[in-house]
Amino acid sequence: MSFVLILIALNAWCGLSVQASTDTLSPGQTLTGDGKLVSSNGKFALGFFHSKSTSDNNHNDTSRLWYLGIWFNQIPKLTTVWVANRDSPVHGPTSPLLTFAADGANLAVVNLATNSTVWSTQITTQTNTTTILVLLGIGNLILSHGGNTSNIVWQSFDHPTDTLLPGATIGLNKVTNETLRFVSRRNSVDQSPGMYSMELGRDGAVTMYYNSTLPYWSSGAWNGRYFGNVPEMTAPDRFAYTFVDDDREMSFAYHLLDGSTMYCLLDVSGQRKLLAWHDANKVWMPVFTNPSAHCTVHATCGSFSVCNDNTRPSCGCMKGFANADLDGNWDPDERTGGCTRNFPLDCSGNSNVGLGGDKFYGMSGVRMPFDPKRVEHAASRRECEEACLGECSCTAYSFGSNGGCSVWHGELLDVIMLGNDGGSTNSGEILYIHLAAEEFQSRRNHGRAMVGGFVAACFATLCVLLIIIVIVLKVRRKRRKLQCNTVNDNRVCSGLIPFKYRELQRATRNFSEKIGAGGFGAVFKGLLNESTPIAVKRLYGSCREEKQFRAELSSIGIIHHTNIVKMIGFCCEDNKRLLVYEYMPNLSLDAHLFQKSAPTLNWNTRYQIALGVARGLAYLHESCRDYIMHCDIKPQNILLDGSFVPKIADFGMAKLLKRDCSRVMTTTRGTIGYLAPEWISGVAITPKIDVYSYGMVLLEIISGRMNSHNDYNSDGDDVVYFPVHVARKLLKGDVMSFVDHKLHGNVILEEVVRVCKVACWCIQDKEFDRPTMGKVVQILEGVVELDMPPMPRLLEAIVAS
């Protein structure tokens, strides 16, 4: 070891330590904390970085954890994509040293304080050819023979950590059965492997695992274009894919086509995230996330917790338990610690009233925990309870009329609060949690003490309080209509963040950057926590805007979908009404279709927008517990994120429809040009009004002009209503004549015909003739064929008159 140190010192003395930016390291050279390798395109860097030890509360320099890694060199926020010594960081105030053996055989990270090697490439094959270390422009660190990058001895892509870069592969060697497995880090500070991993299996699907053994999500098999459960992969002109399945290997890689900066990360949350750098806001923004619901990740909140995708934070403790962290807060980067009991169980088997016996607390509205055990002999709830009470290891039980008796031993995992957009076969059952009697007794004694003190205080000041209450009620009676009691009810806005007006005023720089306006009010861009871009809708103070405010909270505030804009929170102070949404960098669809100055959307982008909007409407109409009718589908209410993924927005006119109802009466009306005939006539409406509006939007997506546009017929004399013009041309087989001329014919004719057919079926006069949005999705995905639609006679008659 002394020889190694002498060699290191000699190399440094001879000027062999790399300091200047270069992409190559030669045998005998070293790399210290001050130096780095930079790829030839400047995109990636290799060097040492450090983080604070999780056990250090004083943030001393001696607590630094040093790692050798690769990161995005041109991104101001340190974003690592590969870490060499993630299992063995070097502790200390100064960085370790990267050495490259003089014979070109191995790289090694040396801890100078302990004179030990903490990581090396461990190449055992000897070669007489000199190897060169090169950091490639795709983020791959390679050892190659004689600098020939096609003759690779070792590469970092073969030793992945938690990141899949464009051009890298995930897969398996069918001959050796070796797998390229990606493993999440423990948290944002600790780079060591976490509990979640993903790999490509022999079934052709990417599967995510908890603790390397328990699968909790699958991408579905590769269908030639994308993985079956990830239709988001079909984003136009952004990606290309390489999928190999032969006798030797099965592998997958993705490639970027638009020059953007993206990477795929297996996050500490257990979700796979494709992230894109948004340079204007200096943040990483998700393109898509799998699984989309965080609570479906196994053990994401740890033991004895409840997960709720509609709250922030999403994790909370069950009754009788407290956060296991000392500070009692949920770390957004590490939530798997779970919760611990407030009081130990008595385990005497006695359930009588008093401190001597354990009891059960019933929790309804949740999905049952992971890994239940059946108790066949328990024929009633009482027998099921006694079976659990008789074993100290039993932590909960449930008894259902169909499911019988189920008990759980040890930790309770994967308990999920069922929201308005989901159901469960166990939703009618109650989970009874095994608790110590002190949990109930302490609450009772505390309540008595509180009641006694309150009564004594009230008795002394009763007269004064009554006078004050009467005065306050008279003064505020007229303001009660605009108060926020209903808004703060959990039934309305569970999971949303209640902001103070001053917070949003500060986030938007006093509402200085307006990005939209309408009859309801105005929308402003803001920045939350100095990093997260948001859109703040400030409504006017009239009763109409109050109604819209509550409509949006009761609809979009309780749902989550890739193609529906996400509501973050709200503000309700005095007569101020504000709604906070995720920010959409590419604004609304109408700006791209109708404004001459906007860049032209190519056909693939338009097709994916049409498909995404259809998926969002299908979710509203068919997947929510209460069906939701948007009632105002138009390009102005379709927002586009950084990847041009469409998000349905503006739910101010939305109507909830109970599952046992088929229609609803409403006096409000949508936007002229998108109104279904039955709505104009004043009858009760169904979700088919959204289908009609969607059909009109499809015509605008195809043509790049408003559906109210008048056009000349083939004779050049008669003015024809544009939707009728489209229907006539479709029946004649001449669809290209009305395709947006800015596309210069660069379309897929089969898809144009398909979209035209869908549009003309959607705008049929009779609602029963229109397809459901679920059927529309299947048609656009190419799963279901569609016949030629008839002419919408009502539209033609209106035009003729």
pLDDT digit string, tens, across residues 193-232: 999 999 999 999 999 999 999 999 999 999 888 898 887 7
| Residue 767 domain flag | yes
Q: pLDDT tier at 557 (50, 70, 90 boundaries)?
A: low
DSSP string, 120-139: E-------SSPEEEEE-TTS
Flag whether 377 is in a domain: yes
The answer to whether the beta carbons of residues 135 and 43 sit under 8 Å apart is no
CB 269 within 8 A of CB 297: yes
pLDDT at 21: 67
Q: For residues 632 and 661, state if they share a domain.
A: yes
Task: Please tell me the predicted confidence (pLDDT) of residue 465.
Answer: 58
pLDDT at 427: 44
Q: Which of 198-202, 458-462, 630-634 has the lowest mean pLDDT?
A: 458-462
Q: Give the percent of the chain with pLDDT over 90.
A: 40
How many structural domains does the chain have?
5
CATH code of 547's domain: 3.30.200.20
Q: In this structure, are 178 and 258 located in the same domain?
A: yes
> Which of 115, 140, 159 delimits the end of a domain?
159
Three-state DSSP at 377 gives coil
**Which of 309, 331, 632, 740 is the catalytic position?**
632
Phi and psi at 558, nearest 5°, equal -115, 10
Kind and range of the H or E element at 198? strand 193-200
In a domain, 36, yes or no: yes
Distances (CA, A) of 224 to 227, 233, 291, 585, 604: 8, 12, 21, 31, 17
Is 537 within any annotated ligand binding site?
Answer: yes
Average pLDDT over the chain reads: 80
Range 752-761 average pLDDT: 92
Range with top average pLDDT, 56-60, 372-376, 728-732: 372-376
Rounded distance between C-alpha atoms, residue 788 and residue 589, angstroms: 28
Q: Give domain status of residue 444, yes or no.
A: no
Is 474 within a domain?
Answer: no
pLDDT tens per residue across span 135-188: 999 999 999 887 677 788 899 999 999 999 999 999 999 999 999 999 999 887
Domain boundary among 558, 582, 606: 582
The domain of 576 spans: 490-582
What is the token pair recorded at 36? 């780095």
Considering the domain architecture, whether residues 386 and 283 belong to the same structural domain is answered as no
C-alpha separations of 369 from 89, 291, 339, 623 in Å: 36, 19, 15, 23
Q: Give the pLDDT band of residue 288 (cuts 50, 70, 90).
A: confident
Does residue 226 sit in the same domain as residue 278?
A: yes
Instruction: Please determine, for residue 656, whether its predicted confidence score (pLDDT) is greater than 80.
Output: no
Do 176 and 286 fall into the same domain? Answer: yes
Classify residue 697: in a domain, yes or no: yes
Between 617 and 495, residue with greater pLDDT: 617
Residues 756 and 781 in one domain: yes
250-254, 332-336, 436-440, 527-531 — which is least confidently predicted?
A: 332-336
Q: Is 593 left (phi over 0), alpha (psi -120 to 50) or beta?
A: alpha
Answer yes or no: do 130 and 5 share one domain: yes
CATH of residue 740: 1.10.510.10
- 406 and 517 within one domain: no
Tokens of 297: 């990740």
- Domain limit, last residue, from 109, 133, 159: 159
Q: Is residue 448 part of a domain?
A: no
Main-chain phi, psi angles of 244, to 5 degrees = -115, 130
**pLDDT tops 50 at residue 790:** yes
Please tell me the predicted confidence (pLDDT) of residue 801: 46
Q: What is the CATH number of the domain that holds 225?
A: 2.90.10.10
C-alpha span between 110 and 13 (Å, rounded): 17
| Predicted confidence band of residue 32 (pLDDT cuts 50, 70, 90) | confident
Q: Are residues 13 and 23 in the same domain?
A: yes
pLDDT for 75-124, tens place per residue? 999 999 999 999 999 988 888 999 998 776 789 999 998 889 999 998 87
Residues 150 and 173 occupy one common structural domain: no
| 632 counts as catalytic | yes
570 Ramachandran zone, left/alpha/beta (phi>0; psi -120 to 50): beta
Domain co-membership, 155 together with 188: no
Q: Mean per-residue pLDDT for 710-727?
A: 58
Domain assignment of residue 484, yes or no: no
C-alpha span between 358 and 288 (Å, rounded): 46
pLDDT digits (tens, 9 = 90+) for 335-389: 667 899 998 888 765 554 334 578 899 998 888 999 999 998 898 999 999 999 8
Same domain, 532 and 593: no
What sign has the CA pseudo-torsion 220, 222, 228, 229?
positive
CA dist 146 and 700 (Å) reads: 58
